[in-house]
Amino acid sequence: MDLTKYYEAAARKKPGCYPQWLSGEQPFWTLVGSEEDEREGLVCEDGTIEAHKRGFTIQPVLRVGDQLVTRDEACVEQTLEHGCLPLPVVEWTRGKLELREEVLAYGGKASSVYARFILKNAGEDLLKGHLYLIVHPMQVYPPWQGGHDGFSPIRNLKYEEGVVRLDGGRSIFLVTRPDVFAAKGGTYRAGGPVERDIAGDIILDRLPSQTAAEDENGRVSGVAVYNFDLGAGETKDVYLAIPLHEHEPEWTAGQDVRVRYKAMRRELVDRWESKVNRVEVRISDSAVTDTLKANIAYNLVTRDGVGFQPGSRSYDKSWMRDGAVQALALLKMGFREEVRQFIEWIGGFQQESGEISPVIDTKRADDPLWEEKAGLCEYDSQGQFVHAVWQYFLFTRDRQFLEGQFGRVEKALNFLKALRAKRCASEYHDGPPENRACYGILPESRSYESAAGGPFHTYWDDFWALAAWKYGKA
C-alpha cells in the first residue's frame, strides 16, 4: 500500500475528516491575502485552511453529544463579507448548533492568516460537545490542479503555551488555548505496520496523550480540541493565527483579542470597500455586481509587487496574456496607477529582438525568464502588450506615458513583422497545400492551452498580432 492509497482508505471511513481530494472530489476554495504581501492563504468550501502554498491544513470537525459531525453531516454555506470583499465566511448548521468561521489576512507585506470560529446554540436545549481543529500533513489543493502529490510533510510538531511549532519555521498560534491538544506521528511507513492517524483517533474518540510528535517521513498530525457547553443563545469564540512569514502575528498576550480582531476586520472592510466601489454599477441583479467587485479585489490580492498574476498556487507567475486582461478590467473599475506600473514593469523585460516575454516568474528573482530560456515560445504577448499600452492611454489620455512606451511598442511591432515574414516566403506562397494554408500567418508556438504535442499555429497569436498592428497604427 502506497501513501496515497493509505490515506484514501482512511478517508473512506469518514471522508469529512480529510481533505476532499482523497475522496476524488474537486474542492472549491478561495483566497485570503493582503494586497501588499506576495503570499496568500487558501480557504476551502468546508472551512479547511491552507495558509501556506503547498502547506499543511487546519480542518474543522465537530462532536455534538456522541455524534461526530463533519462537512458531510452539516449544512455548509459560504459567502464573502458584504457579498464581494475578499474576507470569506463559512457557516455550518447541524440541528440547533451553528458554527461560523471567518478568515482574513492582515499585516501588510508580512501578513498572517487569522481565523475566528464562533459556536452558537440557536435552540433552547443545552448543547455539549467539542470543536476539533485537525492539523493535517496534506493540502487542500488537489494533485490534479498542479498540487504535486497533495501532501505537505510535517516531520516535527510540538504544542506548548498556546503555540504549535512545526518544522521549517512554521507555527500556529492558538490564541484561544485549547482544552486538549494531541499529536501523533509514525502512522504510515511503507512495509511497516499501519496505524491510525489523528483523524482516525478522533473518529474513535480516543486521542493520544502526547502533545509532540516526530516522523522522519513527514506524517505527523495533530488536533486542538475545544469543549463547549452552550445554553440557549450562548456563543463561544475560538481564535487562531498563522504567520505567513517569520514574524509573530499582530495579537499579543494580554490583548483583548475580540476587540483587536473586530478592529482589524473593520479596517479591512473599509479598505476593500474603498477599492471595489470606485465605479458605481447599477443593475437589478446584485450577484453580478458582487462577482465583478470580488474579482477586482482578488486581482489585487494575487498581484505580486507590481506584477499582475492570475493565481496564487499553480498560476503564481505574471503572464502578459492574463495581465493584459486584468489591466483592462482594472482600468474599467477606476485603477490607473496599478496598470501603469504593470505595463512599465513587464515592458522592462522586452528582449533586444523586440519580443515581449510571455511569462515572468516573480518567485525566481535570479532568473525570472527561465521558462523562455528553456524553450517556451508564445507569440501572443506582443499584441497584448501593445493593447495594454493603448487601453491605458484611452482611459487616461496620458500622452507622456504613451510617448515613453513608443520605443517598446515599435520594437514589438517589428518583431511581429519579422515573425510573419517567415511565413511569407515562396515556399509558403507557392508550395504544397499544407504550406500555402500557413501563408502570411505567424509561425508555430506554444501559446495554446491544454493541447498535447505541438508547437502549433495558434489562432490567438494572429488575433493579437492584428490587434497590435491596429493599435500601433492608431
The answer to whether the CB of 181 falls within 8 A of the CB of 171 is: no
**Rounded to an integer, what is the distance from CA 423 to the centroid of its chain?**
41
Helix (H) or strand (E) holding 63: strand 57-64
pLDDT of residue 375: 80
Which DSSP state fits 355? P
The per-residue pLDDT for range 55-95, each reduced to its tens digit, is: 999 999 999 999 999 999 999 999 999 999 999 999 999 99
pLDDT of residue 168: 86
Which DSSP state fits 470? H
Q: CA neighbours within 13 Å on the CB side: how many for 439?
A: 13
pLDDT of residue 78: 97
Return the C-alpha cell found at 265. Answer: 476586520
Give the pTM. 0.92
Which regions in the chain score pLDDT beneath 50? none
pLDDT of residue 451: 60
Contacts of 165 (CB under 8 A, 6+ apart): 156, 157, 158, 159, 171
Contacts of 14 (CB under 8 A, 6+ apart): 68, 70, 199, 203
The answer to whether the CB of 130 falls within 8 A of the CB of 69 is: no
Give CA–CA dist 138/387, Å, rounded. 42
pLDDT of residue 195: 66
pLDDT of residue 80: 97
- Alpha-helical segments (H) within 214-314: 257-276, 286-301
Give CA–CA dist 378/457, Å, rounded. 11
With CA atoms as reference, report the closest residue to 460 among 474, 450, 444, 448.
Answer: 448
Angle formed by the axes of helices 399-421 and 381-396, to 10°? Answer: 160
The answer to whether the CB of 152 falls within 8 A of the CB of 164 is: no
The per-residue pLDDT for range 213-244, each reduced to its tens digit, is: 999 989 999 999 999 999 999 999 999 999 99
SS3 of residue 105 by DSSP: strand
The angle formed by the CA atoms of residues 36, 41 and 44, to the nearest 5 degrees, is: 145
pLDDT of residue 250: 80
With CA atoms as reference, report the closest residue to 177 among 159, 191, 190, 194.
Answer: 159
The angle formed by the CA atoms of residues 322, 102 and 115, to the nearest 5 degrees, is: 95
Give CA–CA dist 418/442, Å, rounded. 9
Angle formed by the axes of helices 320-332 and 286-301, to 10°? Answer: 130
